[in-house]
């Protein structure tokens, strides 16, 4: 079993979707879960008040080395797989599902009460983030170079994600970490942090982590 094909598709997916669809470029996001038994890519949009809507999940079968999307047949009442053999088929499928989703979302909004253009968060890969500046928060302009990647999850209770970007003004790297806790009341508690570092520091940071992995303790749910 190999994840080489999965990793290649992940590296090309975001840029390819942005280049073929201006609307996805404005509001589309993707998150990679490489640790699952069947690794997956979730495609989503975010609305106000941290309301995230996943419109498609692309799965990868590592045994057969193929991508697929699960769909539900209303006639038979069964779930089936749509196999997507190449990157062109994957892009076409995600693109079509995205527009079907957006069309249905717009139809559900009462235009007399809600302005759709105000509801959708159009900040995507270029955005301002807050970095810890001591007594005051400092706003920095960031170009995100990766999608949100799932680093850890436990059941349906906790997940930790990271994404990497570059601070436009200084060229420094930035790691954006989100710790999400899902409560029994279907609420999501999020804790976001940003870590900024220079290119010269990166090697020392990597070396420190690698040299001290054996003294760290993993999470033990028992």
Mean predicted confidence (pLDDT) in 82-104: 89
Fold annotation for 126-215: Nuclear Transport Factor 2; Chain: A, (3.10.450)
pLDDT band at residue 110 under the 50/70/90 scheme = very low
- When mean pLDDT is compared across 72-81, 147-156, 195-204, the lowest value belongs to 72-81
Cβ–Cβ under 8 Å, residues 124 and 30: no
Mean predicted confidence (pLDDT) in 196-220: 83
Mean predicted confidence (pLDDT) in 48-59: 79
Distances, alpha carbon 120 to alpha carbons 23, 51, 89, 191, in Å = 11, 10, 28, 22
pLDDT surpassing 50 at residue 173: yes
Instruction: Compute the distance between CA of residue 62 and CA of residue 24 in angstroms, rounded to an integer.
Output: 28
Mean predicted confidence (pLDDT) in 37-50: 80
Q: Which two tokens stand for residue 183?
A: 């409560």
Instruction: Compute the distance between CA of residue 51 and CA of residue 94 in angstroms, rounded to an integer.
Output: 21
| pLDDT tens digits along 123-146 | 444 445 555 443 334 567 888 888
Distances, alpha carbon 19 to alpha carbons 12, 13, 16, 112, 155, in Å = 11, 10, 5, 33, 35
pLDDT surpassing 70 at residue 221: no
pLDDT band at residue 220 under the 50/70/90 scheme = low
pLDDT band at residue 58 under the 50/70/90 scheme = very high
pLDDT surpassing 50 at residue 116: no
Domain range summary for the chain, segments of one domain joined by +? 4-119, 126-215
Distances, alpha carbon 67 to alpha carbons 33, 37, 82, in Å = 14, 13, 9
Quick one: pLDDT at residue 74?
Answer: 66
pLDDT band at residue 158 under the 50/70/90 scheme = confident
Quick one: pLDDT at residue 67?
Answer: 93
Quick one: pLDDT at residue 84?
Answer: 92
Quick one: pLDDT at residue 139?
Answer: 64
């Amino acid at each position: 079993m190999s994840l080489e094909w999965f990793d290649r598709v992940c590296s090309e997916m975001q840029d390819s979707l942005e280049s073929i669809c201006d609307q996805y470029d404005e509001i589309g996001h993707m998150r990679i879960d490489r640790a699952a038994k069947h690794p997956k890519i979730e495609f989503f949009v975010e609305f106000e008040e941290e309301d995230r809507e996943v419109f498609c999940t692309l799965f990868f079968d590592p045994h057969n080395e193929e991508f697929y999307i699960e769909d539900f047949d209303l006639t038979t009442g069964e779930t089936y797989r749509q196999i997507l053999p190449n990157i062109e088929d994957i892009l076409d499928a995600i693109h079509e599902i995205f527009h079907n989703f957006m069309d249905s979302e717009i139809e559900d909004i009462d235009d007399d009460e809600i302005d759709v253009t105000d509801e959708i968060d159009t900040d995507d890969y270029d955005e301002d983030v807050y970095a810890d500046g001591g007594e005051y928060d400092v706003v920095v302009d960031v170009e995100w170079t990766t999608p949100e990647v799932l680093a850890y999850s436990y059941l349906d209770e906790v997940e930790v994600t990271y994404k990497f970007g570059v601070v436009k003004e200084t060229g420094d790297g930035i790691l954006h970490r989100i710790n999400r806790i899902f409560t029994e009341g279907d609420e999501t508690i999020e804790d976001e942090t940003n870590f900024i570092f220079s290119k010269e520091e990166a090697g020392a940071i990597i070396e420190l982590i690698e040299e001290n992995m054996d003294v760290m303790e993993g999470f033990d749910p028992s």
